[in-house]
Amino acid sequence: MRRILYGVFVLLWISILVGGFALRHFLSTLPPTHLMEEYQPQMTTRIFDYKGNMVTELFTERRVWVTLDQIPVHLQNAFISVEDDKFYKHWGLSPAGMMRAAVKNFLAGRVVQGGSTITQQLAKLIFLTQERTMGRKIREQLLALEIEHMFSKPEILQMYLNQVYFGQGAYGVAAAARVFFGKTAQELTLEECALLAGLPRLPNYYSPIAHMDRAVTRRAVVLNRMRDLKYISDKEAQEAKARPINVMKSPAGPVVAPYYIEYLRQYLDEKYGSEQLYRGGLSIYTTLNVEMQGAAERVMDEALDSFDKEYGPQAETIRAKNKQDQMRKSGTVPKNYVVKVSTTVTKVQGALVALDSKTGAVRAMVGGRSFQESQFNRAVQARRQPGSAFKPFVWLAALDNGFTAATIMDDFPVAFQNNGNDWKLIETATDTYAIAKATATLKEDLVWIPKNFDGKYFGPVTLRRALAFSRNIVAVRLIDKVTPKKVVEVAQKLGIRSALDPFLALGLGTSVTTILEMTAAYGGIAAEGIRTEPYTIDKVVDFEGKILEEHKPEQSEAVSPDTNFLVTNLLKAVVSEGTGRAARIVGRPLAGKTGTSQDQRDMWFIGFTPDLVCGAWMGYDDFSPMGRRMASGGILVPWWAKFMKEALKDVPVKDFSVPEGITYAKIDAQTGYRALPTCPKIILEAFKAGTEPKDFCPVDHSAHSLNELETED
């Protein structure tokens, strides 16, 4: 007997020693639970529009942290009912649950049930893997005991409800509420709480998106359990079971303003890094106007689709097929008639940027027709020739150097010769014959003969009329007089950052730039000569509410108020009587300029009101010509105007303010002199005080008629 007791005693001590060493081993391999006091889960970064409405999210795990008082009591009770009904009574472990799980695991011959408490599940979610081994289970239990020692029950429940996975990329109850029901956690109803509480067991199996019948059955289980535990009455349970489940059909939803968001993302990723951007729970408050963005995307897409059908590479095929269909219906199809099918599928592209004229806030940005097909953002990455849309910078330089809207310039054929250092006007070359004679012996690359878009010449013309009808020859003569250097300085002061070649051709928009740059530069004109740096972010706030960055306006006077008003007044004439006439449908004071680059490869229109400046572009990515004799005035301006009309529908109509030092005088539209009552077309023109014409019109208009100019650019 003594020998048996001795053996038992030895075995007991051996067991204690082995158990002690095993416990020491497991304790030494536990993660440091004190880190939970500083624990921050991976959080979703949210992007908001200028009104504070959420637009989209950036995340690796979709999660928004909420405190326990923001989580409905029904949702708390639903989880406790199905996951751990003794949560408020145990100290981290449930012996009864462990025994029940042990029996099932023994019968199955493997680990099939854990019997875990909510505290154990939290330990596993934060510190451990999902593997089902005895070693992992022991660590889980030890961690649960330590967590219970360190935190209160409400703190543990809060961490768990913000950590648990619901499927569809949603981590935590707040993300799940938005993903499945499109609402905040506080707005969840009893039946919605029960449905969500049933998902973590098997998120994909019970998903109401994929398996509604299973979700309904699982919800009933949760409601019954809540009733049994007296959290709800039988009546409440039955009523909740009877209510339909209205989940969002596409939780992820379409990406709003994809080019705009990607433009933001690249900046944020570079500044804050991917870790903080995708997991830091940042709140990004942007300048985006969702309604305006939607209008821009819709209007541009419709216009470009229409262009493809009418003028694109497939247009000839479509017309041929339509003709064939008509002939078949009439029974007049010729023998051997074959439709020639084009294999070219190139689509015309477009881009648009809309800015707040006063602040520089980017309200809308469209970088192409389909972000899924091409992530290349043509609004900020494409550098194209702006064509005549660059001319306002030439006119600004001229108006700031003694020229007026009534100054007469010659719109006659002109030629320049390169003397080895610069291009010089050939004074004797005043018509086509004289140009041919003067350049006959010169090398071709040493001669430049600019031409007007329409191939016509109007003779002597005012600067007002020359800009309204986009006369290239006048632009070249003008930049020759004020020098390309001064034009470059004006453009750079207004915000053009792209390299500008200081040559005469600059006045025709031959140097490449971006739509955002050009639109922002016009924004300086719209803002009475004050250059404002365009921006897309109002502020960035971190997870704890600390402001990481906040927009501070970067402004500078680029153009004097009086000179700026004069060019604005001339750009209004582009819309009222010139190449931008199609923009008049906007129905309010408006200024702008058309632009068509060499060989019709690019079409531009940039226009503005006192409140909004918008630049739009059309062209092919491969620089193919858009079509002979096509111009932005008839192709692009109509859809630009359609967008602007919709974008400004709720904005009060107002005109551009007149600064001090501006005076008005009635002038003859043809000669630029002060008008007499006999002049056929009289214009009330703006001038800097003291620069208005002093002499009255000497022309006998009975012998002359003002050409009605019809041209586009």
Tokens of 183: 């609402």
Q: Compute φ and ψ for 344, nearest 5 degrees.
A: -80, 130
Candidates 57, 81, 83, 191; catalytic one? 83
**Which of 94, 116, 283, 388 does the annotation list as catalytic?**
388
Phi and psi angles of residue 413, each rounded to the nearest 5 degrees, phi first: -55, 145
Torsion of CA 426, 427, 431, 435, to 10 degrees: -30
Which helix or strand (DSSP H or E) is residue 276 part of?
helix 258-279
Give the SS3 label for residue 56: strand
User: Among 442, 583, 597, which residue's Cα sits nearest to residue 511?
Assistant: 597
**Is 83 known to be catalytic?**
yes
3-state secondary structure of 352: strand
SS3 state at 619:
strand
Could you give the CA distance from residue 300 to residue 255 in angstroms, rounded to a whole number?
A: 18
Q: Is 560 a catalytic residue?
A: no
Give the contacts of 605 (CB within 8 A, at least 6 positions apart): 389, 580, 583, 592, 593, 594, 595, 615, 616, 632, 633, 636, 637, 640
* CA angle in degrees (0–180, nearest 5) for 579-295-516: 60
Q: Are 222 and 106 in contact (CB under 8 A)?
A: no
Q: How far apart are CA 107 and CA 576, in angstroms?
A: 88
**Cβ atoms of residues 561 and 528 within 8 Å:** yes
164 Cβ contact list (under 8 Å, min separation 6): 121, 125, 171, 172, 173, 200
Angle at 526 between CA 521 and CA 528, to 5 degrees: 105
Residue type at position 661: G
- Cβ neighbors of 270 (< 8 A, separation 6 or more) are none
Q: What is the DSSP letter of 659?
A: P
Alpha carbons within 13 angstroms on the beta-carbon side of residue 391 total: 33
Between the two ends of the chain, the Cα-to-Cα distance in Å is 115
Task: Show the CA angle centred on residue 61, arms to residues 57 and 66, nearest 5°.
Answer: 80
Q: List, by residue number, the catalytic residues.
A: 83, 388
